[in-house]
Chain A
Amino acid sequence: MSTAESKVSGKGTLTRSQRRRRNFYFFISPWLIGFILLTIVPLIFGFLISLTNYNGLNLFNLDFMGIKNYARAFQDPMVRFTFSRTLIWTGLNLPIWLILSLFLAILVNQKVHGIGIFRTVFYLPSIIPAVGLVWTWKVLLEKNYGLLNAMISVFRPGTAIGWLTDQAMYGVTAMAVWSGLGAGMIIFLAGMQNIPDELIEAAKIDGASTSRIFWYVILPMLTPVIFFQLILGLISALQMLTIPWLATTDGVIAVPPRGIHLYMIYIYEQIFSTQRFGYGMAILWLLIIIVFFLTYLIFRTQKSWVYSEVEG
């Protein structure tokens, strides 16, 4: 942009760059205001709270704790335990969700009659609210009266596997993956439909088999989408609260089975059950830092495996 363009051309008249800037702020302002009020402000407020002994009722009588809450987190065995369970949860959920989402996307990318119906059906779980989803799955997975155990009992009478208790990691994984498949599928589908047909046609002319086309053409072209899904899935898995909480507690007893005692659940307990808002905010901020760090690490690996048409 030339200097002349950026100067005011006349009194009361905006230059093109000034108009662009004004329009930019005008159009992003709804999002920006929401982001500031609903994200930045709570984050800062949460950080300030993490430096105090706020318990929900002593806002006017706070003690400044400095970094004591953070130091306490490093001594707290439940922080270590719940974080380790969260890593296991993430390690189990993320690959299953990515692979199944991709698999479904491949299926619904076929040019067959009525494929739209399948796309809709596969996407439906994503629009079911978490509460409805969990209650539906509870009917299936309940230990004493669940349908799944009833079916297994046909072959082994009296079966009562605790899908939501001792085996909760697997039962809740099934719920979470199922609920996220539709959204994952749609994004992979969009990515697949952006792959130029010429590439696939050229591979076919060269005699490549279907599997080789998938491994050497489609998958590399999908790596930007996989990267995007990986980042979002990682953040979502580390922050998972609603589904495991609803699936394994009953509103009266707010303690989930140890196997699915995730880090976010522990934060929730600290804040709302034990009324340690300050400490809860401190361990929440630790999670934010960890999420930033892991996201950064994945970004660092980007160049080595994510396809890009522009040389970085």
Chain B
Amino acid sequence: MSDKKLSRRDFMKMAGTVASGVVLAGCAKATEAPVASEAPPATQAPAPTAVPTKGPASGNVVVMHSIQQGELTQDMVTQFQAKYPVITIELVEVDLVRFFSMYAAGNPPDLVRVQAPSVPQYLARKMLYDLTPYFNASTVLKPNDLAPANMYYQATDPLHVGSGNIYGMCKDWSPDFTLFEYKKAFEDKNIPLPSTTEPMTYQKIYDLGMQLAAFDGDRITMFGFDTANGGAWTDRIWMNILAETGDFLYSEDYSKIVLSGSEKTQKVIQYFYDLVKNKLCAAGAIVPSPNSQGDDFDKGLVAQLQYGYWFSAMAETDVTTGQVLFIPAPTWTGVRRDPTMTATGMIMSAATKVPDAAWQVFQWYNGEEPAEARASSGWGVPALISWYPKMPNETPFQQQVQTVLKGELDLNSSPLQFNPYIGESTVSNAYMLYLEQAIAGSISFEEMLKNIEFDVNTAIDDGKAAIG
């Protein structure tokens, strides 16, 4: 036996080796995880999952949800456990990075709060549990009672979302292209209010925005026409406008985004470019606002705001009470469409080990007490058609909103087609990146389009390669 002592240097070398071993061992273990199977091609439907078992479900269900925003709270969990004592719920705050980490560790949450743009990507990765058998067997969540926005969670394959197997449902939804008009801004400029029955064209809104916008020197004191999330979801509005004429932001197989090659798309983007150029709307760092567009509206700083029905719950403040008019979604070509662009909801992970218990939680959250409370809160149209009458309809403003909303609910005929190969902010981030340069004049509008195309198409190529 050697009597050579372990020097500190040797120890450090050994520690490095051990560390490498830990990493490699971690990788090896991960490959044995239940979701380790190779993902199917994006056009292939995920394999059907198990049918519900009979008898009481039990187990611990990990739910990744928006706890801090109060969408699912510990108090609600306590109520659930009083009702279903054999099931425990472990709450995890929704966080994409944490979700990736849990997924990579082979132990994803059983139920996850997601939004519509993520669904095709997760489908392509075979990450979603097919809930169709559960829905078919449920007396609470009946497929024919699902509101149209739930089509974002129904698909035959990742490239064809809108109908087919059911992989989740929205917690509530809104036709998201409606408009909130600040009456005082119109009165101050002696401009007549728009119709509450006939939709405006986007061009008309733009013209009104130019008249309604107000400035004090370089300061903006009234935004003429703000859109959802200040540009972050602009591509969703493009998609909706293009869908009026059956056009599409991507090639048919989603392998390319088509901007510079489509005159129609160019015109749509030019419209939103002009909005920013003329400072009619907030747009990230280009036309900054310290608040969200909703907060700005509540402070009387926005003349026209394109937000969904959900905003009606907070549109009237000390500043705006009696001054808000809810009007129909505008059109580009005269064809009316008003789908939701978010459809925030819940899916079950394909890797769940407790599907029956997870379904019980899913059904409770989406069809029992929490869902009923949401339905009557006015923060969204209920996800179940039978609960539509629960929406608040007491104050004059709520009644005016409901009158307009009735006409919009049927305009949710087909979903926006989100690309399964890229993240939900890939297009909007590329747009905002190059929009700043285009507005500053360092690149042309055409160069901006080409740069966006290059970035997005590269991301699509990467996404396709990652799926395999």
Contact = CB atoms under 8 A, between A and B. Distances in A.
A137 B23 CA distance: 41
A252 B232 contact: yes
Given A36-B15, A144-B219, A255-B429, A57 B285 contact: no
Interface in B92-112: 96-97, 100, 103-104
Contact of A274 (B35, B288, B423): B423
B229 interface: yes
A138 B75 CA distance: 35
Interface residues of B, number: 66
A25 interface: yes
Nearest to A62: B466
Contacts of A272: 96-97
Interface stretch (A100-108, A158-166, A207-215): A158-166
A67 B429 CA distance: 27
Interface stretch (B260-268, B341-349, B430-438): B430-438
B425 A254 contact: yes
Interface stretch (B36-44, B330-338, B382-390): B36-44
A48 interface: yes
A279 B455 CA distance: 14
A158 B423 contact: no
Contacts, number: 157
Contacts of B104: 56, 59
Interface residues of A, number: 55
Contacts of B432: 253, 255
A3 B439 CA distance: 77
Interface in B338-391: none
A142 B287 CA distance: 11
Interface in A288-308: none
Given A41-B23, A158-B216, A60 B35 contact: yes
Interface stretch (B154-162, B304-312, B457-465): B457-465
A13 to B, nearest CB: 16
A273 interface: yes
A93 interface: no
Contact of B468 (A61, A153, A168, A254): A61
B286 interface: yes
B13 to A, nearest CB: 12
Contact of A55 (B219, B429, B433, B466): B466
Contacts of B292: 250, 252
Contact of B284 (A144, A159, A250, A274): A250
A275 interface: yes
A36 B219 contact: no
Nearest to B101: A56
Interface in B418-459: 422-423, 425-426, 428-429, 432-433, 436-437, 440, 459
18 contacts: A21-B5, A21-B8, A40-B15, A53-B466, A57-B122, A57-B125, A60-B35, A61-B466, A63-B465, A142-B288, A164-B285, A164-B288, A250-B292, A252-B292, A255-B429, A258-B433, A274-B462, A276-B459
Cβ-closest 7 pairs across A and B: A158-B217, A160-B218, A253-B284, A56-B100, A257-B285, A255-B432, A60-B36
Interface of B: 5, 8, 11, 15-16, 18-20, 22-23, 26-27, 30-31, 33, 35-39, 96-97, 100, 103-104, 121-122, 125, 127, 215-221, 229-232, 283-286, 288-290, 292, 422-423, 425-426, 428-429, 432-433, 436-437, 440, 459, 462-463, 465-468
Given A24-B8, A258-B433, 5 more contacts: A21-B8, A144-B289, A253-B285, A274-B426, A279-B462
